[in-house]
Amino acid sequence: MPVTCFWALLLAVGIASCLEPDKLGILPGQNFTTSYHQYAGYLTVRPETNGQIFYWYAESQSATPGGDPLVLWLNGGPGCSSVAGFWGENGPFHLTKEGVVVNNPLAWNKVANMLWLESPLGVGFSRSSSSKDFYQNDTSTAVGNFVALQSFLKKFPEFKGRDFYVFGESYAGHYIPTLIDYILDNKGDLELNLKGFGIGNPTTDRPSDFNAPLPFYRNHALISPQSYQAAYKACNGDFMDTSTACVDHRRAALKEYGSRINIYDILADVCLDGEARGENEAFRMMSIMYGDDADILTPPCIAEYLATYLNRADVKAAIHADPSIKWVQCSDTVDRVKYTYSYASMLPLYARFLNETSLRVLIFSGDIDSVLPFTGTQAWIDKLDRPIKRSWAPWLDSEGQTGGYKVEYDRMTFITIRGAGHMVPEFRPQRAFDFFSRFLAGKAI
């Protein structure tokens, strides 16, 4: 260990890393400096194939980063980049269409040390010398994330024993519970103090998730009452029905929805200048539920300028990314063909967490997301049959407005975020920061 790293660790002065090659300097398009450090690079998860997950770590901006928890953020997909979450949701930087880097005043590293992983292998800048590593499932992804955390601790040993949380959204509804489950089974092999987790608009229980969108569309005047009733009757009340009549009527209802509605946020306009429809996270989620019918719904809208920026040679060099990899928001190498959905439901894992551990659990839902509506989340939470401590009531954001509504269970809290879509930190950043910071501080939301 270099002498400087030794004394920094010994004296507990902030957070020091002994791997300076990963340390970030000023990025292309950034015309300001920061008082905190950031690191990006690779974490080895499969040495035999040079399987490496790309990570981005931002030190806490608080006055005492050495006492702040470590929080892992995972985007969904499956196969969508958490680096996109860094730039578009809760990271310290945002990017303008012109490629200018600007500060995010509501970055989650204001109160925590934040880690973003491009998981599983094949996502974003993550890489492997073996194409077999791009065949992933929920179990292998959990193992990969676990090993990535072990590798992170080798680079940043100052985090050993630190309080640790996992947050994410969408298909992280599978990534996170399976990772938590694996940590519990192997907790002696990960030197972190796991305290809890939070997931937004999560994929959780297939029947609950699948049956929520069509009623949501009807109740928001996105499809006609007649087409909804016809589909409901043909499907015998279960939209998972695979009969020809059900599929045909369901497809007819979906056609009424149209392609110029932002399925992430039904009150927002669609982006009309994008073309790579298959690269957005909503398309992945709709594909899981509706298969080829997803083509009816998904607008061609992605943050193309982020891909343009991250694929610049000078940017790749600045963030220590493999120059040979073309970055896309949702990878073609980990898609419906190569990803196996190992679980139909996460509810057995939630039963374990709530009955056998003291973990704190937060489930949050943007209330205008049509991909995974809050009503589906409510349905699977009801299946857990947990005692309610505080019934449905509004919660207030930092500006004194109704941030949404909440229900407090014996071991879990469910909240809605008023006016938020699928990616809550993107659509309602202030409210997202409010509930995140309160949760970490152990305060009531």
Residue 297 has pLDDT above 50, yes or no: no
Determine the average pLDDT of the residues in 418-444.
Answer: 96
Q: Which among 364, 433, 55 has a CA at the least distance from the CA of 197? A: 364
Residue 107 has pLDDT above 50, yes or no: yes
CATH of the domain at 52: 3.40.50.1820
CATH of the domain at 430: 3.40.50.11320
Q: What percent of the chain lies above the pLDDT cut of 70?
A: 87
pLDDT given at position 303: 66
Domain end call among 333, 366, 399: 366
Domain of residue 392: give its range.
367-440
Residue 293 has pLDDT above 50, yes or no: no
Domain end call among 366, 381, 411: 366
Please compute Rg for the chain using Cα positions.
Answer: 21
> Residue 18's pLDDT band (boundaries 50, 70, 90)?
low
Q: Which among 91, 106, 64, 105 has a CA at the least distance from the CA of 167? A: 91
Determine the average pLDDT of the residues in 84-107.
Answer: 94
Same domain, 194 and 286: yes
Same domain, 120 and 198: yes
pLDDT given at position 1: 35
> Residue 3's pLDDT band (boundaries 50, 70, 90)?
very low
Same domain, 360 and 395: no
Same domain, 46 and 125: yes
328 is a domain residue: yes
φ, ψ of residue 302 to 5 degrees: the values are -140, 165
21 and 320 in contact (C-beta within 8 Å)?
A: yes
Residue 89 has pLDDT above 60, yes or no: yes
> Residue 304's pLDDT band (boundaries 50, 70, 90)?
confident
pLDDT given at position 48: 97
Residue 20 has pLDDT above 90, yes or no: no
43 is a domain residue: yes
Strands 163-169 and 193-200: parallel
Residue 358 has pLDDT above 90, yes or no: yes
414 and 377 in contact (C-beta within 8 Å)?
A: yes
Same domain, 320 and 415: no
pLDDT given at position 19: 60
Same domain, 342 and 393: no
Residue 334 has pLDDT above 80, yes or no: no
Same domain, 357 and 374: no
pLDDT given at position 41: 98
12 is a domain residue: no
226 is a domain residue: no
Same domain, 199 and 124: yes
Same domain, 74 and 53: yes
Active site residues: 170, 369, 422
- Higher pLDDT pick, 335 / 372: 372
Same domain, 193 and 319: yes
Determine the average pLDDT of the residues in 320-342.
Answer: 83
Domain end call among 366, 401, 418: 366
List the structure tokens of 328: 């896309």
Lowest mean pLDDT, pick from 94-98, 269-273, 287-291: 287-291
Classify residue 413 by burial, with Cβ atoms within 10 Å: 0-12, 13-18, 19+. buried
Residue 10 has pLDDT above 60, yes or no: no
Instruction: Write the DSSP string, 178-240.
Output: HHHHHHHHTGGG--SEEEEEEEES---BHHHHHTSHHHHHHHTTSS-HHHHHHHHHHTTT-TT
Enter the pTM of the model. Answer: 0.90
405 is a domain residue: yes
CA distance readout (Å), 223 to 233, 297, 354: 15, 12, 38
Q: Which among 82, 103, 136, 57 has a CA at the least distance from the CA of 335? A: 136
Secondary structure of 369-422 in HEC code, one letter for each residue? CCCCCHHHHHHHHHHHCCCEEEEEEEEECCCCCEEEEEEEECCEEEEEECCCCC
Residue 249 has pLDDT above 50, yes or no: yes
133 is a domain residue: yes
125 is a domain residue: yes
Same domain, 420 and 343: no
Same domain, 347 and 373: no
DSSP type of residue 304:
H
347 is a domain residue: yes
Instruction: Please tell me the total count of domains within the chain.
Output: 2
- 359-416 pLDDT, tens per residue? 999 999 999 999 999 999 999 999 999 999 999 999 999 999 999 999 999 989 999 9
- 223-245 pLDDT, tens per residue? 999 999 999 999 999 999 999 99
List the structure tokens of 305: 């300028």
